[in-house]
Amino acid sequence: MIRTGLSALLLLGTWAAAGLAPAAAAPSPASEAPASTGLLTAMQKDLGLTESQAKARLAAEKTATAVESKAKRAAGASYGGSWFNPDSGTLTVTVTSAQKADAVRATGATVQLVKHSAQQLDAAKERIDALSAPAGVSSWHVDPKANRVVVNVVAAQKSDNDVRDFLDRARQAGPVTVKETAQAPQTFAAGTVGGDPYYTGNVRCSIGFSVHGGFVTAGHCGQAGASVSGWDGSYIGNFQGSSFPDNDYAWVNVGSGWWTAPVVLGWGSVSDQLVRGSNEAPIGASICRSGSTTHWRCGNLLAKNETVNYSQGAVHQMTKTSVCAEGGDSGGSFISGDQAQGVTSGGWGNCSGGGETWYQPINEILGRYGLTLHTA
């Protein structure tokens, strides 16, 4: 059964993710269809929800996603960031000007006043991006709740002189908060294992999302021109573009009898998921991932626009989640509801003890290569 599912997945050349512009308009009327039993089951298992709670959360997240774009426009330059609260089912939007509060509140959002705008915090993060980070610094991102840039440091290396020096320089760039993390992030590629999605050389990775003419995946899985084969060893295509580090995305053309479809594989444990667009989910939303090693897993969206400091170099504009992953899951799909979100890059931990995983947003990839997401 699993082998059959893999064959179907690769022949369809599919997976899911979400993002911003080139692929997505508003969801089609078909996206109003109820959530699949498989998705609800996965959310119950990984998020500790009942079926009714999972349904209610998906509905609230869909509303929050629509509210977020309206609230940003209403806040203008006063916008300080936003996040979804799963307990209340509401979207909180921060603003620096009390004069904008009523307009933002009218969109359906809860409003908080803060000192720093999102533009100011993003500018501070960009100044930190220009610094050279030591291995003991794992990542950094703008945290709308804290209204500061959060720099994550590996706990065992927090006293390292290079780490201290980096933090001193980071604090000069703008408002910074330091947090500790258990481990340093790493990419999730793996050595060749029979019966898994696709290979380039001796590296196994996972298909992300179908686009017209191919599929997107992680850049660290292969360089431009590298040949790609499926689980059965047959030729699929070649990496047409690839970027890593700085970014972690790539796309592969599909031919030789392979084709694409707007589907994310459920691996027999959940129903295969249709991809209907790439509207970006807010911080705090639930999110699920499909990959060739640990299959279907769910968690929460923790942070956006985070710079991740891998041993190979920093990767920018990543999204952090509480979803676990392991070697071979790289390149696989992140999806929220029926909206594609991004392709798996790396993280720390595993699916036995837990951890965190980052993905590269899908809309950035589509825009970079001029691709169009294949949607149902």
Q: What residues are labeled active site? A: 220, 248, 330
Structure-token pair, residue 14:
């599919």
305: Cα within 13 Å, side-chain hemisphere: 18
Alpha-carbon torsion 151, 156, 161, 162, what sign? negative
Structure-token pair, residue 265:
């594989």
Buried b (16+ CB within 10 A) or exposed e, 42-68: bbeebbebeeeebbebbebbbebbbbb
Using DSSP, state whether 361 is helix, strand or coil. Answer: strand
By the 8 A CB rule, do 294 and 349 touch?
no
Phi/psi of residue 138, nearest 5 degrees: -90, -35
Helix extents (H) in 202-281: none
Residue with tokens 């109003």: 32
Q: Which residues pair with 314 in a beta bridge?
A: 309
Using DSSP, state whether 281 is helix, strand or coil. Answer: coil
Q: CA 246 to CA 313: how far, in whole Å?
A: 7
Q: Which residues pair with 341 in a beta bridge?
A: none
Q: CA 33 to CA 332: how far, in whole Å?
A: 24
Q: CA 137 to CA 153: how far, in whole Å?
A: 5
Any idea how long the chain is?
A: 376
